[in-house]
Amino acid sequence: MALSITNLKKGTIFQWEGEPFRVVEYNQKVMGRGGSIVNVRVKSLIDGKVLEKTFKGNEQVDSADVTGQTVQYLYSDGSTFYFMNEETFEQFEVPADLVGDGAGYIKEGDRVQLQFFDGKPINIELPKNVPLKVTYTENAVKGDTSSSITKDATLETGVTIKVPAFIKQGDVISVDTTNGTYRERVKE
């Protein structure tokens, strides 16, 4: 199915030159009698590259047949991540480079959204925020507890992030998966 370029709003998934893309930014300029020009910033769902594209008003792009399903993360052997559909018990092998930095925010048993294009896994969508346990951090110096002071904390997945000084080893914190930052301490 063809999409008009004016349908390329933020979040729209389309296919261009045989590859699926998601629109990150959309800007349309209307040019009097000349029609309109659409400038979009798009992210490849295959390799994650972000590109700038300009389309003229009468152009069309194909919609991408990208499907998603909720899967459970089983384990990783370093080069491959293994996921399973909990309803059909079908397992999927995903190369580590496709998971990328997301590997620091998932642990065994977590549920994520796995996206498919032409029957192949192409992308993993993590929840916006994930709770992770602090496995190591330095103790705060007494009297040095203002909220603007941060320190390094190693989380149960092995990733290290900056946290406020009052966070202790064993605390469970919420981490923003889009930029790897501390959000809040999770109350247990």
Residue tagged 């320190």 (tokens): 151
Question: Residue 145: what pLDDT?
Answer: 55
- Mean pLDDT lowest for which of 4-8, 120-124, 162-166? 4-8
CATH of domain 129-185: 2.40.50.140
Cα torsion at 93, 99, 104, 105 (round to 10°)? -90
Residues 6+ apart with CB under 8 A from 89: none
* pLDDT tens digit sequence for 8-39: 888 788 888 888 888 888 888 887 776 788 88
User: What is this structure's pTM?
Assistant: 0.73
Residue 182 has pLDDT above 90, yes or no: yes
Correct CATH for 67-125 of 2.40.50.140, 2.60.320.10, 2.40.10.10, 2.60.40.680: 2.40.50.140
Q: Do domains 67-125 and 129-185 have the same CATH topology?
A: yes
Angstrom distances, CA of residue 59 to CA of 8, 25, 44: 11, 18, 20
Q: What are the residue ranges spanned by the domains of the chain?
A: 2-63, 67-125, 129-185
Q: Which CATH number fits domain 2-63: 2.30.30.30, 1.10.10.10, 2.170.120.30, 3.30.70.580?
A: 2.30.30.30
